[in-house]
A and B are shown apart, each in its own frame.
Chain A
Amino acid sequence: MSDTLVSEVRPLTPWQTVGPFFHYALPWEGGENLLREGVLGERIIIRGRVLDAMDQPVSDAMVEIWQASSSGRYDHPEDNRTEVPADPAFIGFGRCPTNEDGVFTFHTVRPGPVPGPGNTEQAPHIAISLFGRGLLRRLVTRLYFPESEANAHDPILDLVGPERADTLIAKRDEESGGVPTYWFDIHIQGENETVFFDV
C-alpha cells in the first residue's frame, strides 16, 4: 500500500448524547419495520432489551440497525457486486426507541452472508447502533444468529475471541405468529457486558 498525500485534516465534530427528549423528533412511523411489499427472503423478528449495570431496563434508549438483504447485498452504491442480486424492496435500515421495559423490536428479513476483509466471508449479521440518555457517544455492536455455522469462520467474531463472542449471538425465542424470533439483550455494563466495537 502506498502512502497517499494527506492534506490538512480537519478535526472531527465530537459526539454528544442524544439525551432523553428525542422521541418526538427521531423515531418515525414504521421505523422498526423493514418489510416492504415484495421483499425477498425469510421474515424474522429481532427483539431484546437494553440493560444498564444493575440489569435495569433502559427505557430512553434508541436502537438503529443496518443489514444486508436476504441475498447478502447492501442497498448502497458502494456494494456494486453484480453477481449478488439486489432487492429493491429492502433498504436494510431501521430505528426503534426502547419502551418502558427497555425493549426494542424490529421486523426484518434474515440477512445473507457478506464479504469480509481479505478472502473471508462474514456470517450473516446485523450492525447495531445504540444511543440513549447517559450514552455520550454511540455504542456499536453486532447481532449474529445462533444456528449459523458460518459463525465459526466469521473474521469479526474471530477478533472478539471465544470468551465474549456469545454476547453477540442472539437467542432463538418462541415464534410469534409463525415468524422466527430472536432475542438479543444489550448489556451496556456488568457481568454479561455486550461486546462493543471501535470501528
Chain B
Amino acid sequence: MPMRPPVTMPCTTPFASLPVRSVAVKTVRSKKEKTMDVLQYSPQALSEPPSFAPGYVSTVARSPRKPLVRIPQTLTEVTGPADFGERLLRAPVHDMTREGKGEPLGERIIVSGHVLDDRGHPVPNTVVEVWQCNSAGRYVHKKDQHDAPLDPNFTGQGRVVTDEEGRYRFVTIKPGAYPWRNHYNAWRPAHIHFSLFGPCFATRLITQMYFPGDPLIDIDPIACAVPSEARNRMVSRFDIDTTENEWALGYVYDIVLRGRNATPMENPQ
C-alpha cells in the first residue's frame, strides 16, 4: 500500500477554539423601546420538496394538511445557535476512516465544498454534521435490518466546521446503495446526510448529497420529491483537483443556504 500523504485540512480547529462569529449587525431599531424590525432572509424556495409526496409512503400520515401560516421573521428566527463551543454538539470528526482500529472497507473519498448564502457570500464557522451507511449499504443503527455486513472499522458519522471562506472538507468511504421497504425493489441511491445551521434559526438545512451518474437518483421517491432541475443541486461532482494521487477520489458539493440583502434598509430619516 502506498504511503498515505499528509492531508491538508482546512477545518482542523476544535469547536472550542472557534472565534466568535463576526456577524455584521443588520438590525434596525427605532428609538421606541422594545421595537426591533429585522431584515428578512429570503423565503423558502418553491423548489423545496412538499411535505406530502405520496411516492414516499411515510409522508402520507406525516404531512400537515392545513396550509402553513406565513409569519415574518422576528428576532427569534434571525438568531440561532451560534456558539458551538464545547457546550454544544459532539467532537469534530474530519476523517471518518480513522474511527476504528483499522481501515474501513470500501472506496476512500474526500468530500469538500463551500457553504454559501444565496447571494454568494461564504457562510464561515458553521457546523456541518454528516452521517452515512458503510460501503456495503448498512448503517450502524439498531433499526437497520438490511442483510449487509457491518464494518467494525466504520461508524459513519462526522462533524466539521466551515473556515473563513465557508469551506469544509472531510474524508470518508463511499456509501453503498441500500434497499428500503417503500415499494417493491426500492433502493436508495448512495447518499451522505448533511445537517447545517448557518447563521440563524431560519437558515437551518438538512439534506442529502448524492453521487454523479447514479441511476437510482431519478427513480428515488425522496430525491424525486424535488423537481429535477433543483434535484441536480443535491448531486456532488467528481473533481480531479480534489482527488489525491494514489489515495482517494474527490467529490465537490457546494451548499447554498438562505441569505439576505447585504444592504440594510435605508432609514427614512
Contact = CB atoms under 8 A, between A and B. Distances in A.
User: Do A and B actually bind?
Assistant: yes
Interface of A: 1-2, 4-26, 28-29, 31, 36, 52-54, 56, 58, 60, 64, 66, 68, 74-81, 91-93, 114-119, 121-122, 125, 127, 129, 131-139, 155-156, 159-160, 164, 188-189, 193-199
A156 B70 CA distance: 10
Interface residues of B, number: 98
A108 B141 CA distance: 29
A120 to B, nearest CB: 8
A10 B37 contact: no
Nearest to A84: B34
Nearest to A64: B204
A11 B256 contact: yes
A134 B120 contact: no
A136 B222 contact: yes
12 contacts: A2-B266, A10-B117, A17-B56, A24-B139, A25-B193, A78-B27, A93-B88, A117-B36, A117-B38, A117-B72, A197-B70, A199-B73
Contacts of A23: 141
Contacts of A92: 81
Given A54-B61, A139-B51, A77 B206 contact: no
A162 B38 CA distance: 26
A187 to B, nearest CB: 9
B131 A26 contact: yes
Where chain B touches its partner, the secondary structure class is loop
B103 to A, nearest CB: 20
Contacts, number: 269
Contact of B143 (A20, A81, A164): A20
Given A4-B261, A119-B32, A127-B76, A12 B118 contact: yes
Interface in B111-164: 116-120, 129-131, 133, 139-141, 143-144, 155-157
B77 interface: yes
Q: 9 closest pairs, A vs B, by CB?
A: A134-B58, A25-B131, A76-B79, A93-B81, A134-B62, A25-B157, A115-B36, A198-B68, A53-B61
